[in-house]
Amino acid sequence: MENKRVLLGMSGGVDSSVSAILLKEQGYEVVGITMKLFEDEIEGSCCNLDSTLDAKRVCDYLEIPHYSINFKKEFKEHVINNFINCYSNCRTPNPCIECNKYLKFGAMTKTAKELECNYIATGHYAKTEYSEKYNRWVIKKSSAGKKDQTYVLWRIPKELIKHIAFPLSDFENKEQIRKIAKQNNLNVANKPDSEDICFIPDGNYKKFLEENSEIKPKKGNIINSKGEILGKHTGLYNYTIGQRKGLGISYKVPLFVLGFNKEKNQVIVGEESELYTKEITVSDINLLLFDKITEETKVTVKTRYSSKEANATIIQNENKIKIMFDEPQRAITPGQSAVFYIDDILLGGGIIE
């Protein structure tokens, strides 16, 4: 008889709480886990004491066991340190993607084995199924449209996919989730979503960097692509590619941040037309659908969580993938992820260089 014992990651929010209900209905033996990720209790974050208590209350109400496990060391090592390192090197990180790889589908997987769970589950809007066409388990887009979260799942190990359950895969909107929570009298039914980086709930990442790293305000020159000095900046970490407002310089045409010169402590700006790129390279790749891209392959690509997919061709060269877009793309940002799809199947991704 198949072991249908599942370890469910629970943040105390409505998505993971309803996931527990759905998994029980599907015949799983559910075990809840809340990961302790921070040294300090950060008010408003998804992983503070209140959230842990919310998750425990839901588990008690549903009569399923709940564990709260300390993963602060792993989170600091793999997520917070990566976040700081990226900004130190003029790159823009996506900490949710690192957390999914190393915590939710890394450390949590080890815990699942210790608790004799054959599956792990989260409240992500995504779908897993066996593909006859590709002869393997795949991750597919959920029915949630803009709320689909496959973009942040590309780094998980492909051998794990057959052991993952995404109970929210077929829901089209959050109101359907809240309705189930209300019908089941869950106290988190009206709990607001957490939209910000979990360890920076006020959204002020600049303050976080200044207080938790060697990154401090350091003035330098703002130059254009010809090398002309146009003004002064307050520190490279205060700017993002594509930024227009807050540059503090006047010019005959609108100017946007194009990039950085870390060695010379310069912010490089230019006209909007200079923001567009037709070819990029990604490294640190992870492929879920194939073991290797052996020939030019037509895909769609997302270069930000909120961006639309763009048609492109990809080809792999050793440990890097070259992406050739059909149409030039705006404000491609090093450190972010480029994620590939074939139809609605998640092919894989890489970190933009």
Q: Would you please indicate which residues are annotated as catalytic (active-site) residues?
A: 99, 198
Query: What pairing do the DSSP bridges indicate for beta strands 320-330 and 276-287?
Result: antiparallel
Q: Which amino acid is at 15?
A: D
Alpha-carbon span 13 to 193, nearest angstrom: 7
Ramachandran area for residue 43 (φ above 0: left; ψ -120 to 50: alpha; else beta): beta
CB 253 within 8 A of CB 274: no
Alpha carbon distance 227, 189 (integer Å): 55
DSSP state of 236: G
The structure tokens listed for 95 are 């900490």
The residue with tokens 């190990």 is 157
In angstroms, the CA 51 to CA 32 distance is 13
Phi, psi of 248 (to 5 degrees): 70, 25
